[in-house]
Copies of this chain bind each other. A is one copy, B any other.
Amino acid sequence: MGRVLVIDDDAAVRAALGQTLELADHSVITTGSFVEAKDHIAHGFDGVILTDVRMPGRDGFYVLDYVHSVDVDLPIIILTGEGDIPMAVRAVGRGAFDFLEKPCGADTLLPVIDRALTTRHLVLENRRLKEQLEKSDPAARLIFGDSGAAEQLRKQVRAAAALQTDVLVTGAPGTGISKVAEVIHMSSTFSKGPFFKRSADGLGREELVIALSNCIGGTLFLDAIETMPPDTQIALQDHMDGTDPMPRIIAGSNVPLDQLERDGRLMVDLFYRVSTVTVRIPSLSERPEDIPILFRHYVAQAAEQSGHPMPDISADFLSDLMARDWPGNARALMSLAMRFVLGVDKNDAHSALTMPSLAEQIAKVEKSILVDTLRKCDGKVSEAIKVLQIPRKTFYDKLSKYGIRAEEYR
């Protein structure tokens, strides 16, 4: 029914408690000390802990503190001596779920255990549900990184998505402003409409109007918003003030928020309009611990794109990446990942004399394949041509070309 970890140095007490709990269909683990119990205690432990408070060595309070360092929500029921109310109060104040006085019968023990188990199951279910929700969550799927900064970014993105307001996304060059804008779009109710991306630089009034009308019900992302021509800025404000249907506006800028306000290129009114909600993308320098995750992701991507096998990435290499400076942020990491996969190593240059020709290389490979296939098919041509998906005549033509005789493989 539920799992209970019992910690008590008194063997008789352990036995009695164990029996009572097992008779109530609980799964019981009894241990004589913290040392013995420690290995059972993990984050997400699917049960509760019942521990004596007075024990030699590590007492109940130690257990309490330790357990909550592992999993802050894990319920711990403290066993105290009869009438030791001050001790019980201290324990509960310290985070114990409840307390019981020794000796205690089933009548008082079981309800407490049940309440604790119920709470535990609710906590674990709560965690699973949250995880499941996040999995169906574009921010979780598309914004990589385990750092606090990455998690903070995901939270900002979810908050921005949940609102109906316009959004300003800022970040250093290469941090992926455009991509974050798209994730906000995907996570929002606007995702039913289109996502339209335009650079604000040089954008004319008419182009703006066209863009706005093209994504009613969706999102218009305007990159480098501070480079938008002044008359287009005015036009945009007019549309925002107007009663015509409007898409959601997401503005992007490499200029930090505080500088953007003082910059002068972006009109103050428009600035306040689009920065109702802001999302700031951290630079890689703020979250170096995300570099390995990002790099692995880009390498996998590059390998898939180029048809290369996924190369191994040594821990030393990743450490060096973490230690390096990345002014180009994620984009620079992406470029490096591509070069890494393609095996850029200029010292490997070949002269024409040593390198076999293309035809020679191809012939060699083809011959190998034919021979391998014959071998695997025990010289049975009917089988071999099925495997290679090639007509019998063509197959024999090729064997002839390389001087291969199928009967030699029977």
Contacts and interface: CB of A to CB of B under 8 A. Distances in A.
Contacts of A376: 346, 348-350
Given A307-B364, A362-B362, 7 more contacts: A129-B133, A136-B136, A350-B376, A352-B387, A355-B388, A357-B390, A359-B390
Contacts of A141: 136
B366 A358 contact: yes
A314 interface: no
Interface string A102-142: 00000100010001001100110110011011001000010
Nearest to A137: B136
A389 B357 contact: yes
A371 interface: yes
Contacts of A118: 119
A358 B92 contact: no
Contacts of A355: 387-388
Contact of A97 (B115, B123, B375): B115
Main secondary structure of the interface of A (DSSP, over half): helix
Interface of A: 85, 89, 92, 97-98, 107, 111, 115, 118-119, 122-123, 125-126, 129-130, 132-133, 136, 141, 306-308, 342-344, 346, 348-352, 355, 357-359, 361-362, 364-372, 375-376, 386-390
Contact of A358 (B126, B129, B375, B390): B390
The residue among A306, A359, A375 with the most chain B CB atoms within 10 A of its own CB is A375
Nearest to A394: B358
A99 to B, nearest CB: 9
19 contacts: A118-B119, A119-B122, A126-B126, A126-B129, A129-B130, A132-B133, A136-B136, A136-B141, A307-B368, A342-B371, A342-B375, A352-B389, A355-B387, A357-B388, A358-B390, A359-B389, A361-B365, A361-B369, A365-B365
B357 A362 contact: no
Nearest to A370: B358
Contacts of A350: 376, 387
Q: Closest 10 A-B residue pairs measured CB to CB? A: A357-B389, A129-B129, A122-B122, A358-B388, A92-B111, A352-B386, A365-B365, A355-B387, A358-B390, A89-B107
